[in-house]
């Protein structure tokens, strides 16, 4: 219970206490003048942990990470249209991760809006495209009920970010009431007819695969996936997924390759592609003369259920329909020896595999250097892996911050490219303030390395000096240790495999945030 | 002339060369995979200076600064909807400064869009509200002409940011043609009838004021403003303006106060408010029981011309209609003595006034600490002052970067709050790479000080610990010297007036970027 007298609630208090009543436990915030009464309401609400973020992209990325860990939406507090825009890229990413999130966007007092003051903008227009629900609480009497509606709407049918605008006069006026309690919507149950059709298709297929995402990537879902694998169905995940349980004791599905030509080669001969908890796969980008849809010729795609569905239940139902036996081709703990010599994506992957603590979360914004770590940690201690699903780099550090706030007793590992980490480097400061247990590994190659690869792939020609400069972070080289220490996060450089391995072991052994600048080759 | 063979131009080349043909001379960029052919086109275009920014908010703020100095739009290169969102707050600010700007937003290839790949978003929807013009170049044959149309549209009628989407297949396909050359639109000329009406109203008024912005704030415009002042009209500028010529030899108008109650007290008794080059003034924010429109009771507002008008021409016409004589109550150079003792906004203002070089540009994102510097520099060497007009903090450093690129032979002073500077701290890196002659003065008070003032003004109650934490940047204190050095910009701390004065003199005496962390009181 909040200590606010509910009979004289302001609109801000009604909104905040209603979200708390529904289990919202964290608010990632960067307030401005129009949000002062929200700040006061949060001040009076002990059930919500308020975290200041020095840039809104940190707030929205952290809310995503918090929700991926808890399963419940977190709240953000954003300052008008400009605050939404600053947080917008990580809202896009959250939408692409099907993450429930409640973005509370302050707005001018309703009577002030018509005068077009400097910070006025069309927030409904700006925020609408990436919101699964959006409304403005223009009357104080509605603030509580709209907060409850926003919470419910964040669960879908397809879960995602919702936007609730709170005009300043609604926030400061008394007469607010707590919103009526809503029931938490569940994901859709599997459709029996589609399960039967899928089972029949499998029986007639020579080389079937099933592409999975969502709840299929929980331990329970993966146990069902293992049964399908034993029944002869290859199990694949999307290239990028919000969260997957991995490591010793768990079935490890294959993963779709990033580049279209690799994915298509890998799928050659596949004649049936079942889809559970996601969409028919498409290439991340188009390239001249290359396919968009990643389904080979002669292969039938069959969507059993999209992201609105409980895909773990789909797998269980399909396994039952096929009479699949319990099977356990689970990963066995297999920790590599301490790597030596040159520091690169592979030796870093070996160290991460060795030291990743049981029960930890990984936030992966590693771009071109993350894959070896992902592959090797399949046999590490049990952990959860969280990826950038929306392609807007700069999610890794904020996501790790939010995960650490949600699970203070677990360790979080963030792996990020240096280009990606610069986007939202302000997340380091919030990690320091909160004492977040995050180990940040920055792949320092002073390059948007992926773009150098892409420049060649798109056939855009050989780079001249200007193009090289547009893809390179050198001149000057960023000193990540200083950048991190400047924001209160202890940091070290690592230039060899030995140095990195020792630094990582030390960082995991200590509480609070750490940063390791891992100097890897640019090519 | 570009070295590209114009008969085999790609869409990207047609776009870039057309903008160069129209005088666009800078591109502030953060490209991604879908922009690789734009990168190649820029590589082949020697007339455009391409500047890599490590975050899109830096790119858009820099394009704003570049345009404020040159009068011509600069180009940005943004990566799909997420890139637009990251740059969106400083696009909002540019819109509120009536700055012409051409945002080139890469998009997926047109046939790829329907598959809803991870980075797909509704860019027309997201970018529309803050664009004065927006189109997508879906056919290669149109790319050149649309670039020319975008350039023209950025000039108005009210100048502002335009958005030109460039799908990747348009960019990579050959068949592009340079756009037909367009004429640069001029601001609207004064309306003779309104001038006559204004002159008549002045003759009947007891206490007239004229509120000015736009070209009225150039040296030529201010000379006309001085004539009006001599004719008995008080001359006021908006609280925030894109650019004003100031210092010795120039007429110094008064400035509208920020807080509504101060502005209204200052205007008491005013019975006529003429408006030239701007809008009828409104309060930045609404507060319970305070007015939105800053026109006192009994005062008639009379808009002679809005921001689409050449306000300098309005002032000249009005002065002629009134038979006003040439008058020169111009500011006289009056440099203060070296300040001593405690470092605060006033002693900083004295040092800035002493050392500000002739012909320099000031980028002011100083929030609660900028006012004394502004007031005192009215008698400094001639310079131009540029302000944050849209209220979205985090513009100061990027704006200074763009100004320095536009005027490499002049000095740029950036004054910024620490909270504001954190938003877009990545601008420091681009300053280092470009050797930009920017002296950055960061007011370090470890606080969103303005919000502590606003919390009291809005009556939101006394802050508890949570509220204090949401408005304070302490715990941990940011080390600005390290943050700056990490990105290649030399930096020093200053804790006394003497230290600051010496540091500022040294910084102006040396080429390239510098940063001074000016430690000022939090209250």
Residue B337, domain member (yes or no): no
End-to-end CA distance of chain A: 56
Best of A33, A306, A435 to disrupt the B interface by mutation (most B CBs within 10 Å)? Answer: A33
**Which chain A residues are Cβ-neighbours of B50 within 8 angstroms?**
466, 469-470
Best of A82, A87, A455 to disrupt the B interface by mutation (most B CBs within 10 Å)? Answer: A82
Number of domains in chain B: 3
| Strand ranges, E, within A12-148 | 26-29, 49-52, 74-79, 101-107, 133-136
B460:A37 CB<8 A: yes
Based on C-alpha coordinates, what's the Rg of chain A? Answer: 24
Largest CA distance in chain B: 69
> Dihedral of the CA atoms B170, B173, B177, B180 (nearest 10)?
0
- Residue B358 pLDDT greater than 70, yes or no: yes
The verdict on A160 and A218 lying in the same domain is no
Averaged pLDDT, B396-424: 98
**Which chain A residues are Cβ-neighbours of B486 within 8 angstroms?**
478-483, 486
B454:A39 CB<8 A: no
> What pLDDT does residue A329 have?
67
pLDDT, one tens digit per residue, over A59-112 is: 999 999 999 999 999 999 999 999 999 999 999 999 999 999 999 999 999 999
Query: What is the torsional sign of CA B222, B224, B230, B233?
Result: negative
> What pLDDT does residue B329 have?
67
A122:B115 CB<8 A: no
Task: Confirm if B388 and B450 have CB atoms less than 8 A apart.
Answer: no
The three-class DSSP label of residue A199 is helix
Nearest CA in chain A to B167: A286
The verdict on B11 and B153 lying in the same domain is yes
pLDDT, one tens digit per residue, over A186-221 is: 999 999 999 999 999 999 999 999 999 999 999 999
B119:A460 CB<8 A: no
**Which chain A residues are Cβ-neighbours of B172 within 8 angstroms?**
288, 458-460
pLDDT, one tens digit per residue, over B246-276 is: 999 999 999 999 988 899 999 999 999 999 9
Closest partner residue to A455 (CB to CB) among B36, B450, B483 is: B36
Residue B339, domain member (yes or no): no
Pick the last residue of a domain from A111, A142, A176. Answer: A176
DSSP state of A445: -
B282:A89 CB<8 A: no
B29 vs B111: CA distance, rounded Å: 25
pLDDT, one tens digit per residue, over A275-296 is: 999 999 999 998 888 889 999 9
Contacts of A380 (CB under 8 A, 6+ apart): A246, A247, A248, A333, A335, A352, A353, A354, A356
The verdict on A200 and A149 lying in the same domain is no
Listed residue (B467, B437, B474, B435) closest to B452, CA to CA: B467
- Residue A5 pLDDT greater than 80, yes or no: no
Query: What is the torsional sign of CA A189, A192, A197, A199?
Result: positive
The three-class DSSP label of residue A171 is helix
- The pair of structure tokens assigned to B453 is 């003032």
Averaged pLDDT, B308-326: 96
Nearest CA in chain B to A114: B292
Distance from CA of A338 to the nearest CA of B (A): 31
Best of B5, B39, B53 to disrupt the A interface by mutation (most A CBs within 10 Å)? Answer: B39
pLDDT above 70 coverage of chain A, percent: 98
Averaged pLDDT, A51-63: 98
The verdict on B150 and B200 lying in the same domain is no
A483:B487 CB<8 A: yes
Closest partner residue to A122 (CB to CB) among B129, B459, B478 is: B129
Distance from CA of A100 to the nearest CA of B (A): 17
**Which chain B residues are Cβ-neighbours of A464 within 8 angstroms?**
43-44
Closest partner residue to A111 (CB to CB) among B292, B389, B390 is: B292
Nearest CA in chain B to A419: B54
**Which chain A residues are Cβ-neighbours of B392 within 8 angstroms?**
82, 85-86, 119
B59 vs B87: CA distance, rounded Å: 7
State the Cα angle at B44 between B40 and B46, rounded to 5°: 135
B118:A486 CB<8 A: no
Q: How far, in whole angstroms, is CA B148 from its chain's centroid?
A: 24
The verdict on B279 and B417 lying in the same domain is no
> Dihedral of the CA atoms A118, A124, A126, A132 (nearest 10)?
150
Sheet of A234-237, strand order: A254-255, A234-237, A208-212, A272-276, A300-305
Indicate the average pLDDT of chain A: 95
> What pLDDT does residue B448 have?
83
> Dihedral of the CA atoms A474, A478, A480, A484 (nearest 10)?
-150
B81:A96 CB<8 A: no
Helices (H), A154-216: 168-172, 192-203
B286:A425 CB<8 A: no
Best of B3, B89, B429 to disrupt the A interface by mutation (most A CBs within 10 Å)? Answer: B89
Contacts of B271 (CB under 8 A, 6+ apart): B205, B206, B207, B208, B298, B299, B300
Listed residue (A105, A104, A79, A101) closest to A90, CA to CA: A101
B419:A125 CB<8 A: no
**Which chain A residues are Cβ-neighbours of B475 within 8 angstroms?**
433
- Residue A6 pLDDT greater than 60, yes or no: no
Residues forming beta bridges with residue A16, ordered by sequence position: none
Domain range spanning residue A401?
Answer: 345-519
The verdict on B167 and B196 lying in the same domain is no
Confidence band for B368, pLDDT divided at 50, 70 and 90: confident
Residues forming beta bridges with residue A166, ordered by sequence position: A106
pLDDT, one tens digit per residue, over A361-377 is: 999 999 888 999 999 99
The verdict on B266 and B315 lying in the same domain is yes
Averaged pLDDT, A448-462: 79
pLDDT, one tens digit per residue, over A216-262 is: 999 999 999 999 999 999 999 999 999 999 999 999 999 999 988 89
B232 vs B235: CA distance, rounded Å: 9
**Which chain B residues are Cβ-neighbours of A43 within 8 angstroms?**
461, 463-467, 470
> What pLDDT does residue A7 have?
63
Count of beta carbons in the 10 Å neighbourhood of residue B492: 19
Task: Confirm if A93 and A423 have CB atoms less than 8 A apart.
Answer: no
The verdict on A156 and A202 lying in the same domain is no
Confidence band for A4, pLDDT divided at 50, 70 and 90: very low
**Which chain A residues are Cβ-neighbours of B429 within 8 angstroms?**
422, 476, 478
- Residue A336 pLDDT greater than 60, yes or no: yes
Residue B336, domain member (yes or no): no
The three-class DSSP label of residue B291 is coil
Residue B292, domain member (yes or no): yes
Nearest CA in chain B to A79: B392
Averaged pLDDT, B56-65: 98
Query: H or E element: which one contains A420?
Result: helix A418-423
B110 vs B107: CA distance, rounded Å: 8
Nearest CA in chain A to B446: A54
| Strand ranges, E, within A418-490 | 438-444
A233 vs A320: CA distance, rounded Å: 14
Averaged pLDDT, B163-186: 97
B463:A86 CB<8 A: no
The verdict on A50 and A145 lying in the same domain is yes
Sheet of B133-136, strand order: B49-52, B26-29, B74-79, B101-107, B161-167, B133-136
> What pLDDT does residue B3 have?
44
Task: Confirm if B188 and B309 have CB atoms less than 8 A apart.
Answer: yes
Best of A31, A43, A394 to disrupt the B interface by mutation (most B CBs within 10 Å)? Answer: A43
Residue A276: phi, psi to the nearest 5?
Answer: -135, 115
Averaged pLDDT, B384-400: 97
Q: How far is CA B155 from CA A252, B100, B101, B158, B506, in A?
A: 57, 6, 9, 7, 39
Distance from CA of A171 to the nearest CA of B (A): 10
* Residue labelled with tokens 């300040």: B339
A119:B392 CB<8 A: yes
**Which chain A residues are Cβ-neighbours of B285 within 8 angstroms?**
33-34, 108, 112, 117, 119, 168
B51 vs B436: CA distance, rounded Å: 11
Task: Confirm if B319 and B231 have CB atoms less than 8 A apart.
Answer: yes
Distance from CA of A392 to the nearest CA of B (A): 6
DSSP state of B71: S
pLDDT, one tens digit per residue, over B469-495 is: 999 999 999 999 999 999 999 999 999
Pick the last residue of a domain from A151, A176, A201. Answer: A176
- Residue B1 pLDDT greater than 50, yes or no: no
> What pLDDT does residue B452 have?
84
pLDDT above 70 coverage of chain B, percent: 98
Residue A405, domain member (yes or no): yes
Residue A255, domain member (yes or no): yes
- The pair of structure tokens assigned to A21 is 């009543």
A88:B92 CB<8 A: no
Residue B220: phi, psi to the nearest 5?
Answer: -65, -40
> What pLDDT does residue B451 have?
85
CATH number of the domain that A499 lies in? 3.40.50.970
**Which chain A residues are Cβ-neighbours of B55 within 8 angstroms?**
394, 422-423
Distance from CA of B138 to the nearest CA of A (A): 15
The verdict on A362 and A501 lying in the same domain is yes
Nearest CA in chain B to A126: B126
B112:A292 CB<8 A: yes
- The pair of structure tokens assigned to B213 is 């912005």
- Residue B14 pLDDT greater than 90, yes or no: yes
Contacts of A457 (CB under 8 A, 6+ apart): A259, A287
> What pLDDT does residue A462 have?
73
Confidence band for B310, pLDDT divided at 50, 70 and 90: very high
The verdict on B116 and B69 lying in the same domain is yes
Residue B185, domain member (yes or no): no
> What pLDDT does residue B328 have?
64
Task: Confirm if A77 and A15 have CB atoms less than 8 A apart.
Answer: no
Distance from CA of A470 to the nearest CA of B (A): 5
A267 vs A177: CA distance, rounded Å: 56
The verdict on A152 and A214 lying in the same domain is no
Indicate the average pLDDT of chain B: 95
The three-class DSSP label of residue B74 is strand
Q: How far is CA B482 from CA A27, A488, B341, B426, B490, in A?
A: 29, 11, 25, 13, 9
Averaged pLDDT, B121-150: 98
Listed residue (B144, B190, B135, B143) closest to B163, CA to CA: B135
DSSP state of B323: T
The size of the A-B interface in CB pairs under 8 A is 315
Angle between helices A345-355 and A497-509 (to 10 degrees): 30
Residue A332, domain member (yes or no): no
Q: Is beta strand A234-237 parallel, antiparallel or unpaired with respect to A254-255?
A: parallel
Pick the last residue of a domain from A176, A210, A227. Answer: A176
The three-class DSSP label of residue B337 is coil
Angle between helices A56-70 and A80-96 (to 10 degrees): 40
Contacts of B160 (CB under 8 A, 6+ apart): B94, B95, B98, B99, B100, B101, B131, B132, B154
> What pLDDT does residue B449 have?
83
**Greater model confidence, A313 or A367:** A313
**Which chain B residues are Cβ-neighbours of A140 within 8 angstroms?**
none
- The pair of structure tokens assigned to A33 is 């003048």
Nearest CA in chain B to A36: B455
DSSP state of B447: B
Q: Is beta strand B244-246 parallel, antiparallel or unpaired with respect to B208-212?
A: unpaired
Q: How far, in whole angstroms, is CA A31 from its chain's centroid?
A: 23
> What pLDDT does residue A1 have?
38
- Residue A2 pLDDT greater than 90, yes or no: no
**Greater model confidence, A349 or B260:** A349
A27 vs A52: CA distance, rounded Å: 9
> What pLDDT does residue B454 have?
82
A115:B292 CB<8 A: yes
Task: Confirm if A75 and A104 have CB atoms less than 8 A apart.
Answer: yes
Listed residue (B73, B158, B89) closest to B126, CA to CA: B89
Residues forming beta bridges with residue A275, ordered by sequence position: A211, A303
- The pair of structure tokens assigned to A63 is 């809310």
Distance from CA of B307 to the nearest CA of A (A): 14
> What pLDDT does residue A367 have?
81
ipTM score here?
0.96
Best of B13, B16, B40, B76 to disrupt the A interface by mutation (most A CBs within 10 Å)? Answer: B40
């Amino acid at each position: 219970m909040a200590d606010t007298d509910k009979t004289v609630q302001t609109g801000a208090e009604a909104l905040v206490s209603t979200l708390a009543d529904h289990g919202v436990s964290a608010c990632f915030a960067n307030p401005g003048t129009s949000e002062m009464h929200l700040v006061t309401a949060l001040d009076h609400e002990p059930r919500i942990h308020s975290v200041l973020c020095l840039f809104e992209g940190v707030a929205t990325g952290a809310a995503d990470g918090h929700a991926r860990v808890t399963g419940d939406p977190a709240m953000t507090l954003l300052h008008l249209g400009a605050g939404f825009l600053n947080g917008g890229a990580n809202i896009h990413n959250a939408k692409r991760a099907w993450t429930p999130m409640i973005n509370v966007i302050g707005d001018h007092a309703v009577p002030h809006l018509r005068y077009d003051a400097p910070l006025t903008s069309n927030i409904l227009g700006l925020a609408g495209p990436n919101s699964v629900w959006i409304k403005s609480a223009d009357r104080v009497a509605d603030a509580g009920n709209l907060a409850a509606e926003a919470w419910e709407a964040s669960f879908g049918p397809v879960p995602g970010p919702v936007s609730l605008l709170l005009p300043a006069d609604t926030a400061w006026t008394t007469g607010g009431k707590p919103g009526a309690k809503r029931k938490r919507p569940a994901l859709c149950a599997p459709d029996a007819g589609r399960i039967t059709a899928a089972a029949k298709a499998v029986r007639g297929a020579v080389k079937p695969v099933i592409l999975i995402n969502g709840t299929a990537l929980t331990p329970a879902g993966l146990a069902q996936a293992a049964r399908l694998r034993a029944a002869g169905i290859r199990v694949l995940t999307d290239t990028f997924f919000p969260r997957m349980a991995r490591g010793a004791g768990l079935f490890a599905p294959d993963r779709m390759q990033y580049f279209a030509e690799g994915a298509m080669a890998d799928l050659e001969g596949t004649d049936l592609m079942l889809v559970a908890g996601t969409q028919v796969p498409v290439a991340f980008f188009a390239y001249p003369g290359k396919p968009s849809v990643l389904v080979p010729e002669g292969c039938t795609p069959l969507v059993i259920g999209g992201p609105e569905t409980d895909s773990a239940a789909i797998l269980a139902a399909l396994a039952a329909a096929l009479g699949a036996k319990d099977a356990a081709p689970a990963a066995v703990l297999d920790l590599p020896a301490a790597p030596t010599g040159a520091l690169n994506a592979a030796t870093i992957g070996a160290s991460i595999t060795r030291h990743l603590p049981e029960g930890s979360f990984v936030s992966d914004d590693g771009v071109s250097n993350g894959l070896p770590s992902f592959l090797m940690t399949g046999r590490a201690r049990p952990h959860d892996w969280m990826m950038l699903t929306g392609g807007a780099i700069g999610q890794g550090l904020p996501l790790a911050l939010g995960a650490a706030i949600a699970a203070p007793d677990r360790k979080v590992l963030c792996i990020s490219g240096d280009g990606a980490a610069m986007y939202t480097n302000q997340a380091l400061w919030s990690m320091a303030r909160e004492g977040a247990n995050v180990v940040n590994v920055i792949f320092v190659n002073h390059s948007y390395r992926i773009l150098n690869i892409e420049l060649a792939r798109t056939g855009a020609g050989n780079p001249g000096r200007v193009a090289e400069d547009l893809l390179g972070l050198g001149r000057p080289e960023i000193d990540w240790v200083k950048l991190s220490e400047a924001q209160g996060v202890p940091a070290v450089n690592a230039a060899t495999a030995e140095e990195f391995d020792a630094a990582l072991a030390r960082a995991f052994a200590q509480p609070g945030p750490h940063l390791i600048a891992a100097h890897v080759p640019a090519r």
